[in-house]
Amino acid sequence: MSELKYYMNSTISGSDFIMKVCLDWYSLRLRVDDYRGNIYAIIKEINRLAKKNFFTKSFVKVRSEHWRSFLSRGFMVEGVYSGYFRGSDAYCMSFYYDERRRISNQWKKEDEILQRVLRLSIQTDKPLLPDSFVLRKATSEDASILSRLYGSIFVSYPTPVHDPAYLSSVMEEGSLFYIVEKEGQIVSAASAEINYTDYNAEMTDCVTLPQFRGHGFMRLLIYVLGEKLKDQRIYNLYSLARSQSFGMNAALHQLGYMYSGRLTQNCRIAGAYEDMCLWVKNGG
């Protein structure tokens, strides 16, 4: 399946600005990952692009010196990517073009889940791998099996992880995938999408088959990915976890990631828009 049916990364420029954007038609949102130039011209162009594409949300990774400028134009802070820009913070600031996208009906439930997670003790030691399971790095040869794993769990997902060609392409571009196997069957997987410009990485594409949950595989995968990123001198790590997933949020918290905000109806997963918790870890 073509990536363009989901999203397109693009560089947009004007006479006094330039910015890197993701046009995300699948989740009806505009994401701005970096920019420079006239801030108010940038904000104007963000709103123009969002309306042109009938998006219902824009969110921007805003440099710390500019968040007040975005606030003055109606954007709101939903989270903070601590250390995102080579050690400087990025404020996740959003603008909603549809009231229905702005409202979350699960916020109180998600608050309760978060409080349960935050009461858990931190466990930063490497989790043990149970006997009969194998941990290894995935390669493009695993793409077909991985795609079936993702397809069996997610009715919908922000990226086309059910497409083997897509998985192969992101591996070739530098994303790290690690998997846990049992007798040749992939039972759990996670990846790190690396930003070599700002020296950070997103822990993403996390999945475990239901019958194999409870073994701590996700904590192990995220731990190992973090260690591999240290080898590349990538120390700023972050992840967006579904706010209603106790297990995923618990894994990040216990590994020392700090809760840093919640993004309302941020992307389509499993057939619906979901709120996402932002977790950040600095220093590897």
DSSP 88-131: EEEEEEEEESSHHHH--SSHHHHHHHHHHHHTSPP--SPPPPPT
pLDDT at 284: 63
Whether the per-residue pLDDT at 242 is higher than 50: the answer is yes
pLDDT digits (tens, 9 = 90+) for 45-58: 999 999 999 999 99
Express each pLDDT in 172-201 by its tens digit: 999 999 999 999 999 999 999 999 999 999
What is the pTM (predicted TM-score) of this model? 0.95
Residues 91 and 222 sit within 8 Å (Cβ to Cβ): no
Give 71-97 pLDDT, tens digit per residue: 999 999 999 999 999 999 999 999 999
CB within 8 A of 89, min separation 6: which ones?
64, 80, 81, 82, 83
Task: Tell me the C-alpha distance between 107 and 119, whole Å.
Answer: 19
Q: Look up the CATH number of domain 107-282.
A: 3.40.630.30
Res 14: pLDDT: 98
For 202-232, write each residue's pLDDT tens digit: 999 999 999 999 999 999 999 999 999 999 9
Tell me which amino acid residue 169 is.
S
pLDDT in tens, 111-166: 999 999 999 999 999 999 999 999 999 999 999 999 999 999 988 899 999 999 99
Query: What's residue 1's pLDDT?
Result: 38
3-state secondary structure of 7: strand
Average of per-residue pLDDT across 25-45: 97
Instruction: Tell me if the domain spanning 3-102 has CATH number 3.40.630.30.
Output: yes
Report which DSSP code applies to 14. Answer: E
- DSSP H helical ranges for the chain: 39-52, 67-71, 99-102, 107-118, 143-153, 164-172, 217-231, 246-254
Query: For the chain, what percent of residues have pLDDT higher than 90?
Result: 95
- CB-based burial label for 242 (10 Å; 0-12, 13-18, 19+): buried
Domain(s) labelled CATH 3.40.630.30 in the chain stretch across 3-102, 107-282
Region of 6 (left: φ > 0; alpha: ψ -120 to 50; beta: rest) is alpha
Tokens at residue 251, please?
């894994």
Mean pLDDT of the chain: 95
Question: What residue type is 252 in one-letter code?
Answer: L
**Mean local confidence (pLDDT), 6-24:** 96
pLDDT, tens only, 243-267: 999 999 999 999 999 999 999 999 9
Between CA 108 and CA 217 the distance in angstroms is 28
